[in-house]
């Protein structure tokens, strides 16, 4: 029996690694891609894992990875787009080049990978799984604009792509994770600290949000929980268009409020911190 094949980007991160392990355990052959070979060493011992060094911001790097995959298989049953970065900061102060890089990795990177590898997915009538976030469907919190912008863009991209590719029998699934125990989530507090230094006029308000983010980090879940959802999205006969996986309860509650009420709530919290 021929093994199913998948490309997983961001495979060196916590969620990507957990997904690679779960798929391999279920009998898949996985092309595990990340920007650094060092990030992939944990997977190199398994014969069903093919490590690929790939920079999602570099079209030539992606093409080289495609050539390597195409030399081993004529089809891909799935692409899972984990490659991404966090972005915290005031939209009046974040350097243009840093905002551009966040969007380049999180949005354009996903687009480039899917575009380049699509012939192999089409050949298998496979599936594309795009990683959004709870930030992709929730209204953007203050100072989380850079990341939220990228994930709202992924939502629109995935929805349009899903409706296009339905004509070709290729399913597109969007995943909206809450907090999971990964290096990215662990680094959120550091990102807030950097934003404090970058934005003196909002430093106290950002510090307050950092404390709230810390509480969400404490409730972060095991990455394998999300990996199970990814496997379901790749294998179930009729996958949901969107899977929301353990979103933060407080943020979800805020989403149920009228926009003006939510605005006033954020303002009240931040104003107290701002006045110190």
Structural domain boundaries of the chain?
A: 5-191+221-248
pTM over 0.85: yes
Work out the average pLDDT over 238-247. Answer: 95
Task: Tell me the per-residue pLDDT of 194-225, one tens digit each, with 9 for 90 and over.
Answer: 888 888 889 888 888 887 776 676 677 889 99
Residue recorded with tokens 């905002």: 99
- Among 92, 217, 183, 105, which residue's Cα sits nearest to residue 143? 92
Min mean pLDDT across 35-44, 68-77, 113-122, 205-214 is at 35-44
Task: Tell me the per-residue pLDDT of 112-168, one tens digit each, with 9 for 90 and over.
Answer: 999 999 999 999 999 999 999 999 999 999 999 999 999 999 999 999 999 999 999
The residues that are catalytic are: 147
**The tokens of 251 are what?**
């943020």
Contacting residues for 261 by C-beta, under 8 A, at least 6 apart: none
DSSP string, 177-243: E--BSSHHHHTHHHHHHHHHHH-GGGHHHHHHHHHHHHHHHHT-B-HHHHHHHHHHHHHSSS--SEE
Task: Tell me the per-residue pLDDT of 152-189, one tens digit each, with 9 for 90 and over.
Answer: 999 999 999 999 999 999 999 999 998 887 666 557 77
Give the dihedral sign, CA 174/180/183/185: positive
Q: If one looks up domain 5-191+221-248 in CATH, what number appears?
A: 3.40.50.720
Task: Tell me the per-residue pLDDT of 13-25, one tens digit each, with 9 for 90 and over.
Answer: 999 999 999 999 9
Work out the average pLDDT over 105-109. Answer: 98
Task: Tell me the C-alpha distance between 84 and 105, whole Å.
Answer: 6
The half-sphere exposure of 227 on its side-chain side, counting CA atoms within 13 A, is: 22
Kindly state the percentage of the chain with pLDDT values over 70. 93
Task: Tell me the C-alpha distance between 129 and 181, whole Å.
Answer: 20
* pLDDT averaged over every residue in the chain: 92
């Amino acid at each position: 029996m021929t093994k199913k094949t998948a490309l997983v980007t961001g495979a060196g991160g916590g969620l990507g690694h957990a997904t690679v392990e779960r798929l391999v355990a279920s009998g898949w052959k996985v092309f595990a891609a990340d920007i650094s070979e060092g990030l992939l060493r944990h997977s190199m011992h398994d014969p069903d894992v093919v490590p690929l060094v790939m920079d999602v911001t570099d079209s030539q790097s992606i093409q080289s990875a495609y050539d390597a995959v195409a030399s081993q298989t004529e089809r891909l049953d799935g692409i899972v787009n984990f490659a991404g970065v966090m972005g915290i900061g005031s939209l009046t102060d974040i350097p243009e080049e840093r905002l551009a890089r966040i969007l380049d990795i999180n949005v354009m990177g996903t687009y480039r990978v899917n575009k380049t590898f699509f012939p192999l997915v089409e050949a298998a009538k496979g599936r594309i799984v795009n990683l959004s976030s709870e930030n992709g469907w929730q209204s953007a919190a203050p100072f989380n604009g850079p990341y939220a912008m990228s994930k709202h863009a992924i939502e629109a991209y995935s929805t349009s792509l899903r409706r296009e590719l339905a004509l070709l029998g290729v399913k597109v699934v969007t995943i909206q994770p809450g907090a999971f125990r990964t290096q990215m989530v662990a680094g959120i507090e550091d990102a807030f600290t950097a934003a404090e230094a970058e934005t003196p006029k909002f430093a106290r308000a950002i510090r307050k949000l950092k404390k709230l983010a810390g509480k969400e980090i404490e409730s972060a879940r095991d990455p394998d929980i999300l990996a199970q959802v990814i496997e379901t999205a790749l294998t179930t006969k009729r996958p949901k268009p969107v899977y929301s996986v353990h979103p933060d309860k407080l943020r979800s509650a805020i989403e149920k409020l009228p926009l003006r009420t939510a605005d006033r709530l954020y303002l009240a919290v931040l104003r107290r911190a701002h006045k110190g």
